Structure 1
Amino acid sequence: METYKEAISWIHGRLRTGIKPGLTRMEWMMEQLNHPEQRLKAVHIGGTNGKGSTTTMLRSILNEAGYEVGTFTSPYIEQFNERISVNGRSISDEEITELAKKIRLLADEMEDMEFGGPSEFEIITAMAFYYFAFVHPVDIVLFEVGLGGRLDSTNIVHPILSIITTIGMDHIAFLGDTLADIAFEKAGIIKSGVPVITSVHQPEALDVIDRTAKERKAPVYLAGRDFSAEWIGSSEKGEKFHFQSAFSKRDHLETGLAGIHQVQNAALAVMAADFIRAFYSFLIEYEHVEIGLKKARWPGRFETISESPLIIADGAHNEEGIKALVQTLEQRFSNKHITILFAAMKDKPLDAMINQLKAAADQLYFVPFSFPRAAQKEDYSIFVTDTEAITDSYESIIRSFKANATQDHILLITGSLYFISEVKRSMFC
């Protein structure tokens, strides 16, 4: 393995191992790498929706305060490298190659062990831990959970703060088919004595989080009880709100991300920044929070990818995400003719997602695309009526929209973030 292309090919080749919950392989790799996970000042961020947005806003606030911030996120939208970033800038091809070479030595050795070789996600996670500990040390690292929490590869970290954004019915094949079951997996990131900030609101899920936190003597800061955000209106690019907690009172804040649901994510980020300032002596001033929030950008989250005609991409990949998206469409574009391109994974609740989109769209296209778990024509066929269709070429739909759309038209590209990634590469490469 000498080139970036070879490194990426090897990493993606590990997809064949599938999802492998459990921490045994990660713990073994960390031991061989001299425990990089123990050398980091980290925030661990889990939840069903809002992880990426919360991570981005907290990172932007910390950057504005002058701190160097590492982030580990998934999936990527434009380039694989963005999963491991410093101050929002992806690490280089050369760094990816060197990290992959190092981890491959361990992966090859693990193949003959009882627990087997690592998954793709475990490899990338190990690369991130090693990078932020030994290659490019930073002031603080924000680790986004990949799947669940309790058995997720990132859960070997012992953070200074945990964040659980929301809990919804997603990945039920792995996490369970009740909110309580899913909450149990998400609450698995709560560590002994480490505070947790959350905006979970369902009683059955919150009970699990509270019980887990109490068992581990971890203080809980709950949205609506210990801190609050009041939406006061939309701006051209984001949302305006007031924030209040025991740490601060901040009026007229504004997000750089659109959608009323982003106020909830922003409140988590502000509360986290206040906590880090109060207990870890980070010098975060009022203007750092204000400017950082407004500057925050996150690809694939109600992202305008064309101004004229208006084309927006949003990775609403589950039922809760679609609900928030439809709310944003109603709030901002109720007087527009809306065309939607939708592609999702077949293991998602397609009926619940599509029924919401039907109510918002004037024309809805279903898009089968090349990905192992992607829904195909036969999965969409039962949903086709007069205002829906299955398209073999989303490119032709986009070309036609660009040629014929007026100011009263909007094209929304939504569903799987993997689909969003493919469309953006197709449009701009």
Structure 2
Amino acid sequence: MFTSYDQALNWIHSRLRLGVKPGLKRMEWMMERLQHPERRIRAIHVAGTNGKGSTVSYIRSILQEAGYEVGTFTSPYIEQFNERISINGVPISNEEMLDLVNQIKPLADELEQTDLGSPTEFEVITAMSLLYFGYTHLTDFVIYEVGLGGRLDSTNIVHPMVSVITTIGFDHMSILGNTIEEITFEKAGIIKSGIPVITGVQQFEALNVIEKVAKEKKAKVYLYNRDFLIEHDAPVPSIGERFTFCSERNRIENLEISMKGAHQVLNASLAVKVIEYLQTYFSVQIDEGHIRKGLFKMFWLGRFETVCEQPHIIIDGAHNPEGIQELIKTVQSHVKDQEITVMFSALQDKKLDEMIQLLQSIGKKLIFTSFDFPRAVPAEKLFESFPYHHAEMHIDYKQAIEQTIHSMEKNEVLLITGSLYFISEVRQYLKNRA
């Protein structure tokens, strides 16, 4: 038994050494021993390459605005580990986390002695969340964000009210596959028999896979630009974005979000479609005012977030080529006519060549750096691999930030992007600095 939160957290983190072990056998074993908490949860399951966290938060914010209590399971965390298991956006307490670990650790130890082997860090955390939402603190809804892929992800143990697939892009290719079709097949693995799926996927080859899997599972598909769409979307200075949501059931004009970028409009529209489905088929009591307020109030840390006005510093967890493309569009819409210095760090399993080629096109200066994480690419390797004339290298990202800040002019922006783990560290450093 652990007696402190720090001991419990260290035990969880120690399981990172086990890496990723796709499959549901260990989860099924633990759920059986825990008397199936996953069956007691009214779940919404969200998969996709980009936009999962924002979509989860939009759904949560609307439901919360309507007076419902909503649990969320998300990853990675930005400010504190406990936020991975939250209620109405508030992380569970250290005491609750300690209690959950003390219930799960004996199971993990026992499981280690079987042929299935030890559960991974993510499997342990997922089991903790299911135990919490299934028995410790029942809520009206729980929104589960997939960790990796979908078909073999530990969250796929849930049987949701509705499934969501946000977008499809190239990420985690060593595990999910090298083609859009292979990656989509893994994401579409969250589709359950008779449970509808709402998706913002737009590639023809990806849609074919989703519709094929859904047909096999007799699951209805709601497609973006067919069953619901966006009209009149445009950036709004000093606010975010404004758009009109349209479906065969609703037309909601001039919705506003404080998050910036066309991709956030898509994420918000997915959330509105989820709410529309819950209204229609589960009689969930939500009106248009709840949708408007919920969308506008939602804020997701580390997504085109201005962490300092003077000097102007923006952080964004764009961790794959598709995310970088959306980041550049957002920069062009919201910080045009300003000079950009880009600071970048990423993990080794990313498509670095595509990401850096895109980033170097928008920055007057490109700074490669690194951070203390097992899979982080060393700054020296980035600098040697991508010797652009306007590129620099700083091994210590904190020194890089300080030097850049002191040389910035009024019309300049420091844009820090890359791995979400990197953004989490940077945000904490800048918060403490302020």
TM over 0.5: yes
Q: Residue 382 in 1 paired to residue 385 in 2?
A: yes
Match of 1:214, SS? helix
Query: Residue type of the partner of 1:105?
Result: P
The aligned residue for residue 194 of structure 2 is: 193
Q: What are the equivalent positions in structure 2 for 1:194-209 lying under 5 Å apart?
A: 194-209=195-210
Q: Structure 1, residues 146-166: CA drift from partner, whole Å, max 9, x if none?
A: 000000000010000000000
The aligned residue for residue 308 of structure 1 is: 310
| Cα distance between partner residues in 2 of 1:394 and 1:292 | 36
Aligned residues: percent identity?
52
Q: What are the equivalent positions in structure 2 for 1:177-188 lying under 5 Å apart?
A: 177-188=178-189
The aligned residue for residue 415 of structure 1 is: 418
Cα offset, 1:137, TM superposition: 0.7
Contact 1:198–1:221 (8 Å) recurs in 2: yes
| Cα distance between partner residues in 1 of 2:425 and 2:180 | 32
Match of 1:360, SS? coil
Q: Structure 2 residue aligned with 1:265, among 246, 264, 267?
A: 267
Query: Residue type of the partner of 1:32?
Result: R
Q: Residue 392 in 1 paired to residue 392 in 2?
A: no
Q: Structure 1, residues 9-64: CA drift from partner, whole Å, max 9, x if none?
A: 00000001110100000000001111000000010000000000101111111111
| Cα distance between partner residues in 2 of 1:409 and 1:128 | 43
Cα offset, 1:261, TM superposition: 1.1
Q: Structure 1, residues 254-307: CA drift from partner, whole Å, max 9, x if none?
A: 112111111111110000011111111111100100111000000111111112
The aligned residue for residue 61 of structure 2 is: 60
The aligned residue for residue 342 of structure 2 is: 340
| Cα distance between partner residues in 2 of 1:417 and 1:304 | 16
Contact 1:381–1:390 (8 Å) recurs in 2: no
Q: Structure 1, residues 198-233: CA drift from partner, whole Å, max 9, x if none?
A: 011111111110000001100000000000012432
Q: Residue 35 in 1 paired to residue 33 in 2?
A: no
Query: Residue type of the partner of 1:95?
Result: E
Contact 1:239–1:263 (8 Å) recurs in 2: yes
| Cα distance between partner residues in 2 of 1:356 and 1:347 | 18
Match of 1:338, SS? strand
| Cα distance between partner residues in 1 of 2:233 and 2:201 | 22
Match of 2:395, SS? coil
Query: Residue type of the partner of 1:411?
Result: L
Match of 1:367, SS? strand
Q: Residue 16 in 1 paired to residue 17 in 2?
A: yes
| Cα distance between partner residues in 2 of 1:172 and 1:274 | 34
Q: Which moved more, 1:202-211 or 1:230-239?
A: 230-239
Q: Residue 403 in 1 paired to residue 420 in 2?
A: no
The aligned residue for residue 247 of structure 1 is: 249
Q: Which moved more, 1:70-79 or 1:366-375?
A: 366-375
The aligned residue for residue 279 of structure 1 is: 281
From the superposition, tell whether residues 121 and 93 of structure 1 become closer, same or farther in structure 2 (CA, over 3 Å).
same
Query: Residue type of the partner of 1:148?
Result: G
Q: TM-score, normalised by structure 1?
A: 0.98
Contact 1:384–1:390 (8 Å) recurs in 2: no
Match of 1:392, SS? strand
Match of 2:361, SS? helix
Cα offset, 1:244, TM superposition: 0.5
Q: Residue 152 in 1 paired to residue 153 in 2?
A: yes
| Cα distance between partner residues in 2 of 1:78 and 1:349 | 26
Cα offset, 1:238, TM superposition: 1.6
Q: Which moved more, 1:142-151 or 1:377-386?
A: 377-386
Match of 1:346, SS? coil
Contact 1:36–1:133 (8 Å) recurs in 2: yes
Match of 2:149, SS? coil
The aligned residue for residue 77 of structure 2 is: 76
Cα offset, 1:136, TM superposition: 1.1
Q: Structure 1, residues 161-194: CA drift from partner, whole Å, max 9, x if none?
A: 0000001111110000000000110000000000
Structure 2: 5+ residue runs without aligned partners?
A: none
Structure 1: 5+ residue runs without aligned partners?
A: none
Q: What are the equivalent positions in structure 2 for 1:312-391 lying under 5 Å apart?
A: 312-376=314-378, 377-391=380-394
Cα offset, 1:237, TM superposition: 3.4
Q: What are the equivalent positions in structure 2 for 1:221-232 lying under 5 Å apart?
A: 221-232=222-233
The aligned residue for residue 47 of structure 1 is: 48
Cα offset, 1:144, TM superposition: 0.2
Cα offset, 1:133, TM superposition: 1.1
Cα offset, 1:124, TM superposition: 0.3
Match of 1:74, SS? coil
Q: TM-score, normalised by structure 2?
A: 0.97
| Cα distance between partner residues in 2 of 1:231 and 1:294 | 17
| Cα distance between partner residues in 1 of 2:407 and 2:392 | 19
Query: Residue type of the partner of 1:375?
Result: V
Cα offset, 1:390, TM superposition: 1.3
| Cα distance between partner residues in 2 of 1:202 and 1:293 | 26
How many pairs align? 429
| Cα distance between partner residues in 2 of 1:307 and 1:78 | 20
The aligned residue for residue 134 of structure 1 is: 135
Cα offset, 1:397, TM superposition: 2.6
